[in-house]
């Protein structure tokens, strides 16, 4: 008998701790025997109608129980006749997310020392080592529009208006959170979030907190 829910989507928001959570999910999927479905596409969050249909079809036919994860704005499965999965996500203070992204673009992360050079090959040295305070105070383009709205479309969805900062997108995002998301955690409270996931989705996240705390 499959546990409920047996279809979970983690449409992870960039620079909100998703790398850590995905590493935990790899360990948990082996430990608990659920199907972890990941995507190699990291930079395409907005999809055409056909792309939405194709992705939903691929996700829906995965062996259950599954947990699908990808950087992608909210997908409405029921719109295309599919079973709506349970969604989870983690967000963070938008200013902290901007800071994290600022340094990530310049210096990458542990995956490879030269990753940042591949990611931003045209970035000049003086730009790469630009002090973030100077960037903000002197109103450089990168820091004059820090994309604080970035998080909202992940919950608003694929409608074109979801990409327009404003009340409509915000209210639709709130509605989707209430109707489709089991949990939206806050990165600044990650241990509490993991504890909640362990309680709410034990067949996916049992022992996650002890695994996270284990060096």
Question: Phi and psi (nearest 5°) for 93?
Answer: -50, 125
Cis preceding-peptide flag for 58 (omega within 30 of 0): no
| C-alpha dihedral sign at 72, 12, 146, 105 | negative
Neighbouring C-beta atoms of residue 144, cutoff 10 Å: 10
Strand partners, 67: 8, 36
Residues 6+ apart with CB under 8 A from 147: 98
Residues 6+ apart with CB under 8 A from 75: 9, 11, 47, 52, 55, 56, 157, 158
3-state secondary structure of 110: coil
Residues 6+ apart with CB under 8 A from 186: 90, 91, 92, 193
Whether 32 is catalytic is no
Catalytic residue among 71, 73, 116, 159: 71
- Cα separation, 6 vs 152, in Å, equals 26
- Cα separation, 110 vs 104, in Å, equals 10
Q: Which residues are catalytic?
A: 71
């Amino acid at each position: 008998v499959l546990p409920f829910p047996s279809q979970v989507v983690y449409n992870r928001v960039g620079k909100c701790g998703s790398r850590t959570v995905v590493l935990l999910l790899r360990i948990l999927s082996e430990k608990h025997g659920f199907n972890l479905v990941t995507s190699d596409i990291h930079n395409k969050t907005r999809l055409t109608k056909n792309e939405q249909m194709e992705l939903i079809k691929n996700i829906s036919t995965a062996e259950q129980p599954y947990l699908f994860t990808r950087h992608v704005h909210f997908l409405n499965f029921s719109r295309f006749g599919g079973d709506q999965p349970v969604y989870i996500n983690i967000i963070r203070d938008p200013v902290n997310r901007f800071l994290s992204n600022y340094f990530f673009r310049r210096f990458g992360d542990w995956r490879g020392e030269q990753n940042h050079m591949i990611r931003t090959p045209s970035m000049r040295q003086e730009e790469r080592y630009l002090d973030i305070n100077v960037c903000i105070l002197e109103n450089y383009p990168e820091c004059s529009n820090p994309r604080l709205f970035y998080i909202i479309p992940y919950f608003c969805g694929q409608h074109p208006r979801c990409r327009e900062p404003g009340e409509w997108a915000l209210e639709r995002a709130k509605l989707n959170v209430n109707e489709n998301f089991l949990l939206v955690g806050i990165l600044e409270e990650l241990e509490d979030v993991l504890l909640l996931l362990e309680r709410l989705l034990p067949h996916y996240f049992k022992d996650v907190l002890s695994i996270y705390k284990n060096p």
